[in-house]
Structure 1
Amino acid sequence: MAVKSAKRVLEVFELLAQHSRGLTIKEISEDLSMPQSSTSNLIKTLLEEGYLIQDVLKKYRLGPKLIQIGANARESLDIHAQGLPYLKKLMEDVEETVFLAVLSGDEIVYIAKMDSNRSIRTSAQPGFRRPLYCTGLGKAFLTFLDEEERNRILDHTEFKALTEHTITDRNMMEKKILEYQRLGYAIDDEESEEGLYCLAAPVFGVERTIQAAISVAGPKERMLARKELIVPKLLSTAQHISDSMGYIHA
């Protein structure tokens, strides 16, 4: 059962979050259909505690105390902890190796790996760093970063062939990125390791920017045979983790 006074506090916060220039007590009272006297007492308490501030026009806005609370809440949304249950379920569903990586400088860093009982042998392990241009996870970042950041990274990328399938031409990479944007996921087709085929999807955070990427990797022939099964599960898992990180859909 909801506590009425607590519910009103939350309604005030949510209302003022939509009005960055602030509202008067009368405006808050009318918008929330609350008695003006009750609204005045509530606003006074929130002001005294630092949750609201008042400007010279006697309009109220969200206060500095909420900044620290929000920062702490964001830190608590640890992507590793949030993602592990979903990664485990994905690994069990597709029976292939599942990875989670974040961006560190101009490289990815693996922060989680889930092996199935038939996982392919791969050198990638938690803590390892890899380039963006030749890995599925890295290309997911290149695909879903904003254009300015993507171009900055590509400008500083030395395209070296790790296998005979590695894309070493920037124009070709940019064409692939357009394809991945359309698909909603990126592909590593034996570009980082011979025989390894990887599908990778972005994980977005509360600011609707890419925060991490997840992937499913396995032997190319087996992955291609089961691609229509794997892709929807990969995308669904990425969406679930994004939601858990506070991502708000447009």
Structure 2
Amino acid sequence: MSVKSAERVLRIFELLTSHVNGLSIKEISETLELPQSSTSALVHTLYRENYLSVNQAKKFALGPKLIPIGNAARESLDLASLSTESLQRLALAVEETVFMALLANQELVYVAKIDSNRSIRTSAYLGGRKPLYCTGLGKAFLTFMPEEQRIDYLKHVSLKRITPHTITDKDTLLARLQEYAQLGYATDDEENEEGLYCVAAPIFDASKGMQAAISVAGPKERMLRQKSQIVNNVIDTANGISQKLGYVL
């Protein structure tokens, strides 16, 4: 059984999340199609309890009491476990190995790996680290991280050749990252391990910051035969996980 007043409070919070400069009571009631009198009562109650605040324009915005609640919710989300079911569905759909990685000290760290019945042996393992510039997951981070962070990384990194296909020229790598930004995903074409092809996509949180990346990896010939399907599945899965973290597409 739903409680009407509780539902209205939640809708007010959701509305103000996308209006950082605040809204008047009239604007809130009209947007949510609620009676102005009951909207006023709810808003003033939330204001008295510090769940809403009033800015200089006399408009209501999210208040300071929501900050510790949001922080606690964020800390309670274990990204790898939150994503397990989605990653398993992805592995089942594409029948290749699926990975999730986080960024740590300008390297990627594998935090999840889902094998399929066609998985091949790779050098990647849970807890293992890899460079950013020569892996699909790493290039996803480089593509979608803040520009200043990317510039700092490229300024200090040495692009060492790992396979004959590794990109070792920074201008070439930058051009490739620009392509990935347009596509919405990154690839690794035998740049870290010969014979291996990878498609990777970013995961964002509610603040639109990149939190992780996921990928599908497998033998190049087999991956290219179904690349379109794999790309669609990887992006859809990444978007689904992002939405669980509060990201709005």
Normalised-by-shorter TM-score class: 0.7 to 0.9
Q: CA deviation at 1:14?
A: 4.2
Query: Shift in Å at residue 21 of structure 1?
Result: 5.3
Please say if residues 26 and 36 of structure 2, whose CA atoms lie closer than 8 Å, have aligned partners that are also in contact.
no
Equivalent position of 1:100 in the other structure: 100
Counterpart mapping for 1:9-158 below 5 A: 9-14=9-14, 16-17=16-17, 18=19, 20=21, 23=24, 33-34=34-35, 36=37, 42-43=42-43, 45-53=45-53, 60-158=60-158
Alpha-carbon distance, 1:11 to partner: 4.1
| CA displacement 1:8-52 (0-9 Å, x = unmatched) | 3234434555363564x677677765464x556545543443323
Identity of aligned residues (%): 56
1:40 & 1:227 partners in 2: Cα distance? 54
Over 3 Å counting, the alpha-carbon distance change for 1:19 and 1:113 in structure 2 is closer
Tell me the secondary structure at the aligned position of residue 166 of structure 2. coil
Name the SS of the counterpart of 2:199 in structure 1. strand
The 10-residue stretch of structure 1 (3-12 or 170-179) with the greater mean CA deviation from structure 2: 3-12
Point out where structure 2 has 5 or more consecutive residues left out of the alignment.
none
Residues 39-67 of structure 1 deviation map (CA, whole Å, 9 limit, x = unaligned)? 56545543443323467997654322111
SS at match of 1:224: helix
**Partner secondary structure for residue 151 of structure 1:** helix
Deviation at 1:183, TM superposition (A): 2.2
Q: How far apart in 2 are the matches of 1:124 and 1:19?
A: 42
Question: For the residues of structure 2 that align with 1:213 and 1:56, how far apart are their CA atoms?
Answer: 40
- Post-superposition CA distance 1:179-217 (Å, at most 9, x none): 222222111111111221111111122122221111111
Q: Which residue identity lines up with residue 106 of structure 1 in the other structure?
A: Q
Q: Report the Cα distance in structure 2 between the residues aligned to 1:28 and 1:94, rounded to whole angstroms.
A: 45
Which residue does the alignment assign to 1:203? 203
Deviations 1:67-93 (A, max 9, x none): 111112222333212211111011111
TM-score with structure 1 setting the length: 0.86
Distance in 1, matches of 2:189 and 2:113, equals 19
**Alpha-carbon separation, structure 2, partners of 1:166 and 1:215:** 18
Query: Aligned AA for 1:153?
Result: Y
With the length of structure 2 as denominator, give the TM-score of the two structures. Answer: 0.87
Q: Paired residues, what number?
A: 247
Give the letter aligned to residue 109 of structure 1: V
Structure 2 distance, partners of 1:133, 1:26, is 51
Contact 2:203 2:212 in 1 (8 A): yes
Deviations 1:109-153 (A, max 9, x none): 110001112211111111111110011100111111222221111
CA spacing shift, 1:143–1:41, aligned 2, 3 Å: closer
**Alpha-carbon distance in structure 2 between the residues aligned to 1:193 and 1:212:** 22
SS at structure 2 position matched to 1:8: helix
Range that drifts further, 149-158 or 61-70: 61-70
Q: Distance in 2 between matches of 1:208 and 1:19?
A: 15
Contact 1:82/1:245 (<8 A) preserved: no
RMSD of aligned alpha carbons: 2.5
| Structure 1 match to 2:232 | 232
Unaligned runs of 5+ in 1: none
Q: 1:211 to 1:2 in 2, by over 3 A?
A: same
The structure whose Rg is larger is: 1
Relative to structure 1, the CA distance from residue 3 to residue 112 in structure 2 (aligned partners, 3 Å threshold; closer, same or farther) is same
Provide the secondary structure at the position in 2 that maps to 1:101.
Answer: strand
**Does the 8 A contact of 2:199 with 2:215 survive in 1?**
yes
